[in-house]
Amino acid sequence: MREAHPRERATGVDYYVSDADGIGGRLRVAPEDFRVRERERMDPEPLDAPAGSYPFLLLRATLRRWDTNDFASALSDAMGASRERVSWAGTKDKHAVTTQLFTVRDADPEEIPEVDGAEVEVLGRVGRALTFGDLAGNEFEIRVRETAGDPDPITADLRAFAAGDDAGEDAAAGDAEADVDAAAAGDADPASLPDEGPVAVAVPNYFGHQRFGSRRPVTHEVGLAAVRGDWRGAVLAYCGNPNEAEPEDSQRAREVVEDEAGSDSPDWEAALDAMPGRLRYERSILHRLADGAGWREALEAVPSNLQRLFVNAAQSYVFNLILSERLRRGLPFTRPVEGDVVAFVERDVPFPKPDTDRLQRATAGRVDTLARHCGRGRAFVTAPLVGTDTDLAGGEPGAIEREVLRELDVTPGDFALPGEFESSGTRRAVLLPTDLTVAEREGDPVFEFALPSGSYATALLREYLKCDPERL
């Protein structure tokens, strides 16, 4: 097992499961190098359906160089409408070509304007707005340029990880069972990989670097401070805490914030003057401090979705640490051990996703049965996104969870926070499987795969590139 890049370890991602050398390379040289298309799960009524019963237009937009939030604002501005009338299911990257759904409340088809860099199709009417996560998953087509290695040995390693320790005993191993057994034993020959068509691979279901801030990964630090009740620490983690990857004026401004916070009479107006205008959320917080607000009230100056993101990032960091420790100890990801909490898959969805309302503990009498369900794709081993309602696992998996929380000085009850900072928690699959095709375009590898919503393409790509996560 290979140690991860130092920047990844700062977000709890400690290892690669592939020992093969990375191929290096560059992502997103052109937007067309990174294509994402949502797998949709909303069926519209015809456009002539009564607007009273179906007040939302459903749009499919293909965006080039558009951040999802910015496109929604541009669309509403062009309509002369409130931004709150536009909703979507998943936020996509700006440096890409993305195809996704939007809903617009109380609008007619002829009101939908043309927007530069966007192709918009009006699909029909629906009775409710899209909400976050309201999609089955995403399909990816990603070209990596300027590589310097062979992806096949990495693919072989990820096939072995997908096969797990007991693939040969699983009745559902399927076709090419001997090939899978060889991969599980570490004997897979990269030259034997199929030239065409997908192969089953898997990686740990890590949260990607962008969850924590691509250039300045601090959102989890803010969230952990808030969970501990250290609102001063949360504000300083966000507004102070300079990072060498930032522009120099941002670093200087954050140093001013920390200097003022350490003085007996902080001059928040001076800190506000130093903070660049582009850092509008930091400025909002400093405005409140200058007006005499307390630390928590100041942090609540940021939008509610960002307040939730702080805590979500803290949960994600804990989750990543748990997965890293599970890897370090050699516990399986494809099947449970005694004490694990297993989730059965959601019914009638195109992706096998864990249904967190259908959880079972892997007791001594149930562990083998649950392992068979996992082997047949009917269930997943899970780890917690810790919150007030979290019941920790038992056995060695539970010992890992408790050890990680103890080292961070956090308990599930600490997530009983005011307002948007509160979280009841949930559980998430530890394994991220997919069918992968690696094609070639003008000498560059092109990776084609699909993932359920909430999982990160970079969790797979990092195994291939093995580079600074900023390049992902």
* Structure-block tokens of residue 230: 């250290």
Coil, helix or strand for 265?
Answer: coil
CA distance 143 to 222: 34
CB-CB contact of 203 with 460 (8 Å): yes
Of the candidates 93, 134, 170, 414, the residue annotated as catalytic is: 93
Nearest 5 degrees, angle CA 191-CA 195-CA 198? 110
CA distance 298 to 235: 8
Q: Which residues of 441-461 are buried (b: 16+ CB within 10 A; e: fewer)?
A: eeebbbbbbbbbbbbbbbbbb
CA distance 98 to 321: 31
Residue whose C-alpha is closest to residue 446's, from 153, 190, 147, 65? 147
Residue whose C-alpha is closest to residue 408's, from 230, 233, 228? 228
Is 195 annotated in the active site? no
Q: Which residues of 3-37 are buried (b: 16+ CB within 10 A; e: fewer)?
A: ebbebbebbbbbbbbbebebbebebbeebebbbbb
Widest CA span in the chain: 72
How far is the first Cα of the chain from the last one, in angstroms, to the nearest whole number? 21
DSSP-assigned states of every residue in 236-249: HHHHS---TTS-HH
Instruction: Please list the active-site residues.
Output: 93
